[in-house]
């Protein structure tokens, strides 16, 4: 039985993951936010 927090983290990661496929200035603008959200989400639980 999975905990709801795991599903929440997986949803957040799934939403932010496509941002990493951006190129150029868009990648440079949004990639730090993506890495920060993922890092905080995994270390929050």
Question: pLDDT per residue over 16-35, tens digit each?
Answer: 888 878 888 988 888 888 88
Question: CA–CA separation, 22 vs 18, rounded Å?
Answer: 7
Domain that holds residue 17: 4-44
Q: Is the pLDDT of residue 42 over 70?
A: yes
Q: Is the pLDDT of residue 44 over 80?
A: no
CB neighbour list of residue 19: distance below 8 Å, 6 or more residues apart: 30, 31, 33, 34
The average confidence (pLDDT) of the chain is: 82
Share of the chain above pLDDT 70, in %: 93
| Confidence class for position 1, pLDDT limits 50, 70, 90 | low
Q: What is the number of domains present in the chain?
A: 1
């Amino acid at each position: 039985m999975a905990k709801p927090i795991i599903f929440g983290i997986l949803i957040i990661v799934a939403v932010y993951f496509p941002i990493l496929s951006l190129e150029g200035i868009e990648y440079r603008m949004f990639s730090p936010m993506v890495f920060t959200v993922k890092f905080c989400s995994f270390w929050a639980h």
